[in-house]
Amino acid sequence: MFASLPIILTLACLFLEGIRAGPLPPNLLQHRAAELSDNQLSSLVPFTQFAKAAYCAPNKIEGRSVLTDIQILRGPLDPELFPGAPEEVSVHTGFRDQHKIASETIFAEVQRLLAEKDSKKVITVGHSLGGALAMLSALSLQLRLPDDVLVSSTTFGAPRVGDADFANFFDSKVGLSSSRYNSSW
């Protein structure tokens, strides 16, 4: 019974909300792959340490994480956390709501550390759900911190966070300094 619960919940959501799956428009399908040099690979080594520290065994899935994942509806960004975001930008409400829980604490700590370290660079890092939250944090920080602070994001196996408007807005604000790594198999 428990093995089929996610399937039942997904089908219920699809039925109740009238959501239909379909292929992505061709302009959203961007399959880019590039061979990395030794230097580029070496630059990723520090992030593997974060991944080791944050690793969670697959058998220790928390109900809260599953609930976040199944909130598949999309909604707007919070204008206080994302000032200047276009109204048409739409994101996964589960990711958005989880981001909001800690965003003010994170923002205050980032401001403190930037001042303490006299730094002008912030990197958000995450895997899976953490990758989605890292992307939202990067965008929020870039919009709220002074213009001379560069915010970038490195994610591993992150799900799609929002619609095409979100992707375009993210790319215009953070995207050029960010990296996403997803398996292609």
Parse the chain into domains and list their residue ranges: 64-185
CA 103-107-110 angle, 5° bins: 135
Is the confidence at residue 20, as pLDDT, over 60? no
- Averaged confidence pLDDT in the chain: 78
Could you give phi then psi for residue 79, rounded to 5 degrees?
A: -65, -25
Confidence of residue 11 (pLDDT cuts 50, 70, 90): low
Query: Structure tokens of 165?
Result: 């408007």
- Looking at domain 64-185, its CATH superfamily turns out to be Alpha/Beta hydrolase fold, catalytic domain (3.40.50.1820)
Q: What is the pLDDT of residue 183?
A: 63
CA 82-174-73 angle, 5° bins: 50
Is the confidence at residue 99, as pLDDT, over 70? yes
Interval 126-146: pLDDT, tens: 888 899 999 999 999 999 999
Interval 28-51: pLDDT, tens: 555 555 666 788 777 777 766 655
